[in-house]
Every structure is written in C-alpha cells, then in structure tokens.
Amino acid sequence: MMHSLLILSNAGDTLIEKHYRDSLRNIVDQFVAIKDQVNLVSQVNDYICIKVPFNDLIFLAITKEETQIAVIVEMIEILVDVIKAGIGKVDSDSIRDHFSGVLLSMEELIEYGCPFTTHQHILAHFLRKPGFFERFTTIKPQGDTYLDEAIKNEQMNESPWRPRNLRYTLNEILIDVIEYVNMTMDKHWNPVRYDIVGHIQVNASLTGMPDLTMYLHAPHQFLHYTFHQAVISRRKRFEEEEKVLVFTPLDTKFIVFKYWLNDLCPSLPFKITPAISFEEETMKLDIRAESKMILTERLVIEEFKIYFVLPKVCGKPSIAVNTGTFVMDENKGIWSVGRLMLDRVSQLTGRVPVPKEIVPILQETEMSLEVNFMIVGYNPTGTKIEKVLARGESYAPYKGARCVFHSGKFEVRMN
C-alpha cells in the first residue's frame, strides 16, 4: 500500500522517516522542493505523494501502486490521535522529544506499508509519560518485558479494541443516531435528487468488559450498511431481521453502525423560497426561510445558514435581513440565521449592481443556495434506539439516546 511514510517539518526537514520497501530519498527531496505548491495528492516521477499537514508538521506518504488514498489518510489520522493522546500535542518539538516512541508507534501501526495494529489503546503503550518505563526497570527486574507482555495480552484479548481493567465511578452509555441529508431542491421546493447517510455513534464509559445488546426501531429497510469490527462477528442477529446490534464497546466515542438510503424522500421541517428578478442594471434577490415544525413537536432548527455566490462581474450588493446576520466574503454571501423561528418568516432582500450587457447572460445562468442546518430530536428515516441491555457486569448503567438531523450537501436552485 505505502512505500514510505515520513514526518516533515514545515521547513522540509525530515523528523522521522520509515521506508517499507525501497528507499525513496530522492523522491522526498523532489517533493520538498514543491511541497508548498501541491495539495493532498501530487505526483513526483512515477510515485504518488499524499500530503497531510498538521500544525507545523507534514505527514507524507509515498506509494507507487494503485491504492485507496482514504485508507492512508485514516492511518495518518490514527497516528496523530495516538501522539496527541500520549504526549498531549503534535508538533515538531514534541516529535523530536519523543522520537523513539513515535517511531515504535509507526512500526506497530504499519507493517510493510499496510495497516497492522490500529487500536489506539495498544499503540499508546509506546508513548507513556517520561520516566514511566524507568520506574519499571528500576523497581522490578522483569521491567524490561513489561511493554511486550502488556501489548501481547491486549492483542490476544477476544476484544482487542477495548483495554482491560477499566474502572468508572459513573457508568453510562450515550447514543446518538445521526443522519445527514444530501439533497437538491428546485426553486418551487420540489426534490430533484436526494439520499440519506446515517450512523449510530456510541460513547460508553463502562467498567469492566460489558456486553451490549442494542435494539433498533427502523421502519425503513436498510439497503446498504456497514458494521464496526466489534459487531461483525455477531452480525447474524441483525441480518435475520431482528435489527439487533450485539457488541463489546470501545472505551471511546465510536461509530458502531453506518447506513445509506437513496429510496426515501425525506420530509423537511422547513421551506426556502428563493426569487431572482432583473431590472436594467440590477439583480434583485428575495430569499425566504420558514419553519414547518408543529408546536407539539417542540423541536428547534438550529445553526441555520444560507450561502450563495455572486458572479465576479457584479458590483457591491446592498443586502438587508430581518433575522440573524449577513456578511460578504469577497463574492460569497453568508446569511447566518441561527435559530429558525416558528412564528416568523426569515427574509433576505437585496439589490446587486450588474453591468447592462451581462444581464442577459445572468438570466440564463443557473444560481443556487447552499443550506446548513441541525435539528436535535428528529431524523427523517425514523430510526431510533428502542432499548439497550448491558450484560456481563453487576451494575446497571445510565442510558441516554437522541436523534440528530444535519444537512449534508443541501442545495436549492434559485432559477
């Protein structure tokens, strides 16, 4: 998958380099010369360079074979999270101070350029605080084998994604059913295209090694879905139409189940009505947004924003809004409504100077709005958590669940 993985400073200095096959030092030198002119993916000779900047560092992966770039980026993100958890910050100074620990983590994470151990609590053993290993070597004669034994025990555990001997004063399970809608609406508020991407996120702070059984209420059939590895070995109960997820949770926030639907048109609890008209040298804008919530639902549409881009030939616009704030960032308009009120229509009106000869072109140009929003306590598919049972431990944990509905790529055509 990868030929080399390096950690560079912003100046191009090599802090750590690991070549899994052939040494590609000449490719690295050529990349450093163009590092400020390239984005995520670039080509140097016959090699592909994946550049992931973070603070004052550049994580550089080099590959020659056809591979999945998203997997390489995810491995780099895991390494960043491990360094952050182990030494508190990820920058050039901390990498220099903890060189050996970071290098050991890289070697355990990646084997011959492919992912090997991706569990963060196992990789964290290599990045203990200063003096940690010295304490074992000075107190116990067998201290030099502590690291090997600790990692071996956890990797051989039947649930290697979860550390042993966890203890919490307050045992709780918090679950979010989060859905994103990608949608295009025409100017009359009719759907043109749509799909829904959702996932179930679990944050379990639990003592010991509990076994969770999660029952879903899913009125719509999941056509495309994936499980976290904690569920895969016991996915049979879900696939036999029981809609049950059985797993031992991670000791961190994680996504246990993902799904995608493209055969359900979501019901939207708001409406946007855009209008564009032209005079001699003026383009008039009128955008209205109103909530369609029912009073008994007690739901709130929050973080409501509308973006639009004006052609660069336009002059400085005169915009007025009756709710929220409006700013222009070069030729991009940002209307931050905030909370969409139930009893009030939010409205934006404006006049945009346009050269007279450009008006006929703009009349034929498609313009659109980009919309962002969040609604807590609502999701369009109706997927909910019916109940969660915790077995294997003597305590009864606190359980909380909620639904969250977000905008994905949400577009409204204005003409």
- Where exactly are the structural domains of the chain? 4-134, 172-266+378-413, 270-376
pTM of the entire structure? 0.71
What's the DSSP call for residue 240? I
Q: What pLDDT score was predicted for residue 330?
A: 86
Report d(CA 341, CA 134) in Å as an integer.
61
Highest CATH level, class, for 4-134: alpha beta
Mean pLDDT per 10-residue run, the chain (415 residues)? 84 85 81 85 85 88 82 84 77 83 78 70 60 48 50 56 83 95 94 94 92 91 87 86 87 90 90 90 92 73 93 88 91 92 90 88 88 92 92 91 94 91
pLDDT confidence of residue 186: 93
* Phi and psi at residue 373, to the nearest 5°: -160, 165
**pLDDT number for residue 61:** 87
Give me the pLDDT at residue 257, please: 94
| Cross-strand bridge partners of residue 115 | 110
Does 270-376 carry CATH code 2.60.120.620? no
CA distances from 242 to 235, 331, 356 (A): 10, 52, 64
What per-residue confidence (pLDDT) applies to 135? 47
Q: Do domains 172-266+378-413 and 270-376 have the same CATH topology?
A: yes
CATH for the stretch 172-266+378-413: 2.60.40.1170
pLDDT of the residue at 136: 44
Query: What pLDDT sits at residue 401?
Result: 93
Residue in 384, 274, 292 with CA at minimum distance from that of residue 335: 274
